[in-house]
Amino acid sequence: MSDQRNHILGCACDLYLEDGLEGFSMRKLARQVGVTAPALYRYYEGREEVVLDVVREAYREFSSFLYQALEGRTPEERMRRAGEGYLQFALQHPRWYQMVFLLPDQLGIESFPEDIEDQGAAVHQFWVDRLRECMDAGLLKEDDPDEVAMTLWAHSHGFISLYQNGHLGVDEEGFQAALAASSTRMWCGMATESFARQIRERCCGETADGEPTPAAEQQREWEQGVA
């Protein structure tokens, strides 16, 4: 029955999320399912087919985190929620985040089945849509959405993967703060002048105790300089 196959897939996801891809063996999977290894071959042709089903689950989860952003009512709101969804997916499911960045050869296969390739293309299209509509709405400077997407993606992915691999030497709170500060700088560079002003007013305002932050002071000097 497909019921047992579903149970196996669930265990396979648990196993991957626990031990990663190197520790993912049919024997361990069988132990987790509660049967012996050969029994798995009734439902799956081999290890490769199981892994590909796990990849599909990773994409499904990834997409659900991103596409909830479409509930936002303005281009700005959709973009904000998309970025937030991306970050939350990476933080809440680090192993699945790593999985959607795997290439076929890292799974020991020649190429992905077409349906998985399609999921990747859809995510890319989603981001291009977000950027395109922000440009049309006058929030971002007119530019090639593909190139801007690359910049945003590299910045976010770099931050996240350095953090996840322990190279930043900060805790999650420090990481979120650093990423937010860095993202603001980056958005200001790509935003139209009017939207950049909004961003700065929003982010570089005053601290809780009423003192202007050093960054905000500096920003003000800079704005006075160019005005």
Partner DNA sequence: GTCTATAATCCGATAGAC
Partner DNA sequence: GTCTATCGGATTATAGAC
Task: Give contact residues for DNA (rule: CB under 7 A).
Answer: 1, 4, 24-28, 35-39, 41-42, 46-48
* Residue 32 beta carbon to DNA: minimum distance, rounded to whole angstroms: 11
CB of 60 to DNA, least distance (A): 23
Residue 41 as a binder of a second copy (CB under 8 A): the answer is: no
Residue 17 binds a second copy (CB under 8 A): no
Q: How far apart (Å, rounded) are the C-alpha atoms in residues 50 and 53?
A: 5
Rg (CA), the chain: 22
- C-alpha span between 217 and 209 (Å, rounded): 15
d(CA 38, CA 68): 40
Residue 188 partner contact from a second copy, DNA, none using kind-dependent CB cut-offs of 5 to 8 Å: a second copy
State in angstroms the smallest separation of the CB of 181 from a second copy: 7
- The tokens of 133 are what? 């509509």
Angle, to 10 degrees, between the axis of helix 47-67 and the axis of helix 75-92? 140
Q: For residues 146-165, which are near a second copy according to CB under 8 A?
A: 147, 150-151, 153-159, 161-162, 165
Closest to DNA by CB, 25 vs 74, is: 25
Q: How far is the CB of 50 from DNA (least distance, A)?
A: 8
Q: What amino acid is encoded at 150 in this protein?
A: M
Closest distance to DNA from the beta carbon of 107 (Å): 12
Among residues 35, 91, 186, 199, the one that binds a second copy under rule CB under 8 A = 186
Among 110, 114, 142, 209, binds a second copy (CB under 8 A): 142
Contact, 87 vs 103, CB < 8 A? no
The Cα–Cα gap between 105 and 165 comes to 21
Q: Which of 73, 103, 208, 210 binds a second copy (CB under 8 A)?
A: 103
- Out of 167, 172, 173, 210, the residue judged to bind a second copy by CB under 8 A: 167
Q: Which stretch binds a second copy (CB under 8 A): 43-51, 109-117, 203-211, 214-222?
A: 214-222
Contact between 198 and a second copy by CB under 8 A: the answer reads no
What one-letter code names the amino acid at 79?
A: M
Name the residues that contact a second copy, by CB under 8 A. Answer: 22, 101, 103, 141-143, 147, 150-151, 153-159, 161-162, 165-168, 178, 181-182, 185-186, 188-190, 193, 215, 218, 222, 225-227
